Structure 1
C-alpha cells in the first residue's frame, strides 16, 4: 500500500516540476498570449450546448450568442492583428444582435419586439461594417466574387438539357 502512495506522490511531484519548467521556458506565457480569446469563446459555446441539450432555458442564449461572436472576433484580431478592429468594431453590435435574436427565435413566448430590435441592431451593425470597410480592399474581393458568380450563372444557363444545376432547371 505504501508503494502505491509513493507512486502517486512521485507522479504529482514530477508533474509539478514539469509545470514549473515549462512556465520558466515561457510555454504558458505564449499559450496565454495566443489562446486567451478561448476564455470568452468556450463559455459561449458551452452555454449553447447547455441550451440545445435541454439543460438550460432560452435565456442563456443571449450571453451565449454575445460571447461566441466576441470570442470569434477577438480570436481573429489576436491572430491577424489588432489593426483590423478599426474596421471590425461593428461586429460588437452584431454580437448583441445575435444573442437577442437567438433568444427570440428559441424562446416559447411572443417576442416580436425583441426580434425586431435584434434585426434592426443586426442590420445597423452590417451597414456600419460596410461603411467602415469602404476604404479597404474588401470591395475588390466582393467585386471579383460578384463577377465570378455572374459568369457562372451565364455559363450555367447555356446548358438547357442539364437538370443537375442548383436551380433545378428553371
Structure 2
C-alpha cells in the first residue's frame, strides 16, 4: 500500500505542476490542439514496451519505432506551430528506417533488413544535407559576403598589377 501512495502522490504533484505552469505561462497544454500527438506517441511507446518487457515478438519494434518517432516529431511541430515542417519532412522516411533498424538490432539480424534501412536513412540524411546547403548558400547570396569578396579580390588584383608595373 505504501508504494501505491507514493506513486499516486508523485503523479498528483506532476499534474499539479503542469496545471500551474499552464495557468501561469498560458501554455494551453491540455487543449486537443496540443495534445493530439499523444494518440500516436502512446501506442508507439506501448509497442516498444511490449517488446522490451517480454523480449518476445521483435516485430512489435517496427510500428513502435515508427509511431514513437512520428509522435515526438508531431509534438515538436505542434509546439513550434509547424514553422519547421518544411525542414523536418525527411523524418518521415527516417521513422520507418528507425523501426526497421530496431527490428534488425533486437530481432533476427537478417542482413536484408539493412537494405531498406540504408536506403530510407540515406534519403533522409541526403535530404537534410541538401536543405542545410541550400539554407547556407541562400544566406551567402542574401548577405553582403559575395559583393565584399568581389571588391576584395578586385583590390588585390589592382595592387598586384600596380606592383608589377613599378
Instruction: Indicate the TM-score class for this superposition, using the shorter chain for normalisation.
Output: 0.5 to 0.7
Identify the structure with the greater helix proportion. Answer: 2
Q: For residues 30-62 of structure 1, what are the alpha-carbon distances to aligned partners after superposition, in whole Å with 9 as ceiling and x for unaligned?
A: 521111111101111111100001164100111
Given that 2:29 and 2:35 are in contact with CA atoms closer than 8 Å, whether structure 1 keeps it comes out as no
**Alignment partner, residue 86 of structure 2:** 86
CA distance in 1, matches of 2:43, 2:61: 11
Q: What is the SS of the residue equivalent to 2:100?
A: helix
* C-alpha displacement of 1:120: 2.6
TM-score by length of 1: 0.58
Given that 2:77 and 2:85 are in contact with CA atoms closer than 8 Å, whether structure 1 keeps it comes out as yes
TM-score by length of 2: 0.60
Q: What is the SS of the residue equivalent to 2:124?
A: helix
Note the residue ranges of structure 1 that are not aligned, 5 or more in a row.
Answer: 1-27, 141-170
RMSD, matched Cα: 2.2
How many matched pairs?
110
Note the residue ranges of structure 2 that are not aligned, 5 or more in a row.
Answer: 1-27, 140-166
CA distance in 2, matches of 1:35, 1:135: 33
Tell me: CA distance 1:51–1:71, structure 2 relative to 1, closer, same or farther (3 Å). Answer: same
**Alignment partner, residue 112 of structure 2:** 113
Task: Report 1:24-39 matches (<5 A).
Answer: 31-39=31-39
**Alignment partner, residue 53 of structure 2:** 53
Task: Report 1:1-170 matches (<5 A).
Answer: 31-54=31-54, 56-108=56-108, 110-136=109-135
CA distance in 2, matches of 1:73, 1:79: 10
Given that 1:91 and 1:129 are in contact with CA atoms closer than 8 Å, whether structure 2 keeps it comes out as no
CA distance in 2, matches of 1:29, 1:66: 24
Q: What is the SS of the residue equivalent to 1:39?
A: helix
